[in-house]
Amino acid sequence: MLKSIEAQVLEKIKRSPKGTLFFVDSFATITNTKAINKALERLVHSGEIERIAQGIYTRPVSDKYIGKIVPDIEEIAIAIAKRDRATIMPTGNYAMYKLGLTTQVPLNIVFYSDTSARKIKIGKQIITFKKASSKNLAYVGKISALAIQALRTIGKDQVKDEEVKQIKNILKNENPKHLQHDLQLAPVWIRKLIAINE
């Protein structure tokens, strides 16, 4: 007996660990987009899966203390980038948050991207993919890239001594070769500010 589209979609979802993100085109080998959309809608309605945002679904991880755990905003952004074969880079207030320069989680999380600019609403938060030049995406160090983006957001005349000290401290965990590479791409004022000689 042939399995229904809904059963085939659910079977594929259950083959992956809970918390995995799925897009409508994750099921392109099963049938057409319209039928997949309907199957996903029914699975959401029956409680098998959850809709994270338009066209994005998951089977949440369950925790006996906190209940359902859905992927965080960065996991979602990375999954979208992977699907689109895009390169992304956290920037703005989110780069500052990731470095611990602010404790406030930004509602609008901005990533530089080499694909088209767009916004995706996830609950109360918005992921913004901002089209950037290849130079802005050429950083190789995860920490140094965040540090440079955070400093650009703070601004040359607004950056405080304690922020520079904190960033320099965090950069000690970066691969020195990656740091040197990334500093060459940074604006001169940032290069002078965070060049680590000691």
CA–CA distance, 169 with 174 (Å, rounded to integer): 10
What is the SS3 assignment for 57? strand
Domain boundaries, the chain: 5-69, 86-194
Any bridge partners for residue 23, and if so which? 56
pLDDT tens sequence for the chain (198 residues): 457 999 999 999 999 999 999 999 999 999 999 999 999 999 999 999 999 998 999 999 988 888 888 888 999 999 999 999 999 999 999 999 999 999 988 999 999 999 989 999 998 899 999 999 988 899 999 999 999 999 999 999 999 999 999 999 999 999 999 999 999 999 999 999 987 543
Residue of 87, 127, 90, 92 lying closest to 107 (CA atoms):
127
Residue 68 has phi, psi (to 5 degrees) of -75, 135
- Global pTM reads 0.84
Class of domain 5-69: mainly alpha
